[in-house]
Amino acid sequence: MSPIIHTHSLRVRYGETDQMSVVYHTNYLNWFEVGRTELIRAAGLSYRQLEEKGVLLPLTDASISYKKPAKYDDVVEIRTHVELISPLRLTFAYEIVRLPDEELLVTGKTMHVFTTTDLRPIRLSKTEPEVYAWLEAQHKGEQL
């Protein structure tokens, strides 16, 4: 089965572009964060609530591949899914496409570990089994 893909659309703001009206490269990483925040929100849980439960998701690695530039006032869609999950780690994969033609602009991944608020690794499957089960179901393409 394929993972469930969560989507979030936004319009490129002027402040996200350079003098050529092209989105500045680091903004795509910010959009990745928007994608994973909205994916977690789809579980009925915000990042803030996860942190209040004592669980953090620090970033350990990021990769990004630029295909074509987004420009000022474009409408783009961030497509996010859980690519890999284990009790200790989580990898999200992303595609950013321009709408309405769905032209692929950027692909990327971010890797995270589950930790306590003092950055000690934890097994999410034991600490927050419901959250872990939901993320695992997303990866497997299952609805809970």
Nearest Cα neighbor of 64 from 90, 44, 89, 94 is 94
**DSSP SS3 for 96:** strand
CA distance 102 to 88: 34
11 membership: H or E segment, kind and range: strand 6-11
Choose, from 18, 61, 101, 118, the residue flagged as catalytic: 18
Residue showing tokens 């009925």: 44
Q: Which positions ≥6 away from 51 have C-beta within 8 Å?
A: 117
Q: Is 61 a catalytic residue?
A: no
> Which residues carry out catalysis?
18
